[in-house]
Structure 1
Amino acid sequence: MKKPSSKIREEIARLQDQLKQAETREAERIGRIALRAGIGDIDTDEATLQVAFEDIAGQFRGGKRQATVKKNPGDARATSETSAALASGAAAGNGSEA
């Protein structure tokens, strides 16, 4: 028996709510870790930080994933070199993170 479209919509809404809650928990966890590591004190744009986090995620996944080079619309600098320095500096800067 097939589900009526109203039941499917209800299920989609419930799953979207679960996804939003899971993303919020993950963001809070990563945010706390980043703040303890001193990321909040670094004065850089979000695109640079995102590339650095992508590099870090690649390291934890076991690969040496090359970060995507992105440009901030208001900034002509490519972020891949900056992110490599940021990622290695953050890793070397605080060894107390669990």
Structure 2
Amino acid sequence: MKKPSSKIRKEIAKLQEQLKHAETREAERIGRIALRAGLGEVDIEETELLAAFEELGKCFRGGKAGTSGRKGAGESSTLRGQSEAVTSGTTSGGTTEA
């Protein structure tokens, strides 16, 4: 039996609200951890910090490329270049995203 479009819209709205709450919880968790690590006091541009977080995320995903689906996701090639610059002077030994 097919669902009426109004019911589907209600389900979508409910799921969007759940997604919003889940993203808020995740952001708060990561933010608290970043503050405990002292990142709140680091004077760094947001794009550089994002590139560093992407590299960190890649380490935990086993080096697999992933997209966040967020605004600015199309900037990934630019951010990868910045990420290479950020990690080039470190002893991480890792490779940048291909």
Same fold at TM > 0.5: yes
5+ residue gaps in structure 1? 72-77, 89-98
The reply to whether residue 57 of structure 1 matches residue 57 of structure 2 is yes
Which ranges of 4 or more aligned residues in structure 1 deviate by more than 4 Å? 85-88
Cα distance in 1 for residues equivalent to 2:52 and 2:17:
29
> What SS is found at the alignment partner of 1:27?
helix
Alpha-carbon deviation of 1:44? 1.1
Question: Which residues in structure 2 correspond to 1:79-94 (within 5 Å)?
Answer: 79-80=82-83, 81-82=85-86, 84=87
Distance 1:23 1:45 in 2: 23
Using the TM superposition, give the Cα deviation of residue 79 of structure 1 relative to its aligned residue in structure 2, in angstroms. 2.2
CA distance in 1, matches of 2:17, 2:61: 27
Stretches of structure 2 that go unaligned for 5 or more consecutive residues are: 66-75, 92-98
- Counterpart residue identity of residue 22, structure 1: A
Structure 1 length normalisation: TM-score?
A: 0.70
Aligned pair count reads 81
TM-score, normalising length: structure 2:
0.70
Change (3 A) 1:41 1:5: same
RMSD between superposed Cα atoms in Å? 2.8
The sequence identity of aligned pairs, in percent, is: 59
Cα distance in 2 for residues equivalent to 1:87 and 1:32: 25
